[in-house]
Amino acid sequence: MTQITPEDIADFERHLQAQGCYAPSTIRRKTLLAQALQTSLEGGDLPLDEDLAVEKIRGVAGPGRRRRTLNTTARDLIAFYQVRGPQGASA
């Protein structure tokens, strides 16, 4: 589990820009959704296991498009943390 911090979100945005495969509007949307995850999840804690993250999101977001987009954002963040390595993560 790792806490999503504003610094992580800024690093995530730079990471998406560096990939060069996302339009600026997509990067903005993914960044805004990462901020939404930070505020939605208790303490901003994101499980680094995809299944646990999806389960945690299920507890805070009702069924539908919003939950699906938060799930996708969680997967993107988990992949980002795997590349960068989470700071202050715990099992």
Let me know if residue 90 belongs to a domain: no
Let me know if residue 91 belongs to a domain: no
Let me know if residue 89 belongs to a domain: no
> What integer pLDDT is reported at residue 9 of this predicted model?
95
> What integer pLDDT is reported at residue 78 of this predicted model?
95
Number of domains in the chain: 1
Tens of pLDDT, residue by residue, the chain (91 residues): 899 999 999 999 999 999 999 999 999 999 999 999 999 998 889 999 999 999 999 998 888 999 999 999 999 999 999 998 756 554 4
> What integer pLDDT is reported at residue 23 of this predicted model?
95
Let me know if residue 26 belongs to a domain: yes
> What integer pLDDT is reported at residue 30 of this predicted model?
95
Let me know if residue 48 belongs to a domain: yes
Range of the domain at 25: 2-84
CA 55/CA 23 separation, integer angstroms:
29
CA 27/CA 40 separation, integer angstroms:
20
Which of 88, 84, 67, 72 is closest to 19 using CA atoms?
84
> What integer pLDDT is reported at residue 18 of this predicted model?
94
Global pTM reads 0.86
Helix H or strand E segment including 2: strand 2-3
Let me know if residue 17 belongs to a domain: yes
Q: In Å, how far are 33, 35, 86 from 27, measured between CA atoms? A: 10, 12, 20
